[in-house]
Amino acid sequence: MDNTNAWLLMNRTKGLGIATIQKLLSYFDTAENIYLNQRFPSELSLPQSIKQSFIKPNFKSIESDLRWLEKNNNHILTIEDDLYPPLLKNTDSPPPMLFITGDKNILLQPQLAVVGSRNATPVGLNNTTLFCKNLANNGLVITSGMALGIDGAAHNAAISVNGKTIAVMGTGLDSVYPARHKELAHEISKNGALVSEFPTNTKPNAYNFPRRNRIICGLSLGTLVVEAAIQSGTLITARQTMEINRPVMAIPGSIHSPMAKGCHLLIKQGAKLIESAQEILEELTPLAHSLSYQINEKLSALENKQTTENLDNTHLAILEHIMYEATPIDEIISNSQRSAQEVTSILLLLELENKIKALPGAQYIRI
């Protein structure tokens, strides 16, 4: 038994949720120790079936997970990991474990959830493309569910400008759903990450997708709804975002379009009416600052000092291109010859370190 096997086993144990796992970890310290133990104190209130799963673990059940994990670019991330995304961890029911294909560290970067109808109109698809290209160019990771319609357009837009994107799946990562997005899934794994809480061989059951949606909004600073009918899963994602006190933004449309009615309902309920990508950037800036502070604390706590030294050197390299007068972000990106995503993330950290100050119009000044 090792810690990876222990987590994979727990992830497949029916009835074992995050609250119970956290109690077990508090008592036994590590997942591995839970399985090495043969006695469970009564105060843990564990059902007999769960106790039995720890005493006689079913190693055969995780064979496919282990085979998947052996492949290049595949990872797992548990809730006890230092790099588990803090925004997701702060939700009511964070997944105990995430399966990831691609760059797992991208989950720490500032993200915007972009959701909408599978039966999107040409106007909706065009709006998605224009907004997501702009936002990805300005350093936001575009996070969605890789469904047909708005989701797919959002991922493709980010990829088209060499931006970062994350697809949260309602299946195991050993399969692609919908099948026609197989090539898109491959591109996403190269330009970001595919993420799922579900183990391998999990099929696209209807009840998986509300669970997937809570991860999409849980990872993100806020949620943008492009198009949605009154009765749609998109509105569930918007409601889940409101429940965790993060901003919901909606693009209005024609009063005659069924695909605009969901957005109009959200606006009536308090969502912010959005007409430009710049409005989204302004809305998310305070949350991005908070996220960067949390991540900075986590990075500082990591034992790998070399990682921290490299990060500091990167900060200085960006700082060199910020003047003591207003410097546009486009100029900083161009002069530093780094990606917009990397520069934007570092600018947030530099501001928290009181080395620069953000000004209106996406400009920065050295202080």
Q: What is the mean pLDDT of each run of 10 residues along the chain (367 residues)?
A: 93 92 90 88 89 93 96 94 90 94 93 95 97 93 96 97 96 95 96 96 91 95 95 90 94 92 95 95 80 68 48 74 86 86 81 80 84
Q: Are 105 and 75 in contact (CB under 8 A)?
A: no
Strand order in the sheet with 356-359: 327-328, 363-366, 356-359
The predicted pLDDT at position 52 comes to 92
Residue given tokens 């910020």 in the structure block: 322
**Residues 58 and 109 both lie in one domain:** no
**Residues 201 and 108 both lie in one domain:** yes
53 lies in some domain: yes
**Residues 254 and 178 both lie in one domain:** yes
Which residues, 6+ apart, have CB-to-CB distance to 248 below 8 Å?
222, 223, 225, 238, 241, 242, 266, 270, 271, 272
Into how many domains does the chain fold? 3
**Residues 138 and 223 both lie in one domain:** yes
**Residues 158 and 269 both lie in one domain:** yes
**Residues 359 and 230 both lie in one domain:** no
Residue given tokens 């990060």 in the structure block: 311
Q: At what angle do helices 122-137 and 150-160 cross, to 10 degrees?
A: 40
Exposure of 272 in the CB half-sphere (CA atoms within 13 A): 18
Q: Which domain holds residue 359?
A: 303-366
**Residues 133 and 214 both lie in one domain:** yes
Strand order in the sheet with 97-102: 74-78, 97-102, 192-196, 165-168, 141-144, 111-115, 222-225, 248-250, 272-273
DSSP string over 266-295: HHHTTPEE--SHHHHHHHHHHHHHHHHHHH
Which residue among 70, 91, 123 closes a domain? 70
Q: Are 248 and 267 in contact (CB under 8 A)?
A: no
Which residue among 47, 70, 93 closes a domain? 70
Q: How far is CA 2 from CA 37, 195, 201, in A?
A: 13, 23, 22
Residue 133 CB neighbours (<10 A):
20
**Residues 221 and 323 both lie in one domain:** no
DSSP class of 199: P
Say which amino acid occupies 144. S
The predicted pLDDT at position 298 comes to 64
pTM: predicted TM-score of the whole model, two decimal places: 0.80
* CATH code of residue 316: 1.10.10.10
Angle at 73 between CA 65 and CA 161, to 5 degrees: 130
**Residues 8 and 60 both lie in one domain:** yes
Which residue among 22, 50, 70 closes a domain? 70
Angle at 258 between CA 255 and CA 261, to 5 degrees: 60
* CATH code of residue 260: 3.40.50.450
The predicted pLDDT at position 299 comes to 66
**Residues 63 and 151 both lie in one domain:** no
User: How many Å apart are CA 139 and CA 191, to the nearest integer?
Assistant: 13
Least Cα distance to 275 among 127, 120, 111 occurs for 127
Q: At what angle do helices 3-11 and 63-70 cross, to 10 degrees?
A: 130
Angle at 228 between CA 226 and CA 234, to 5 degrees: 90
82 lies in some domain: no
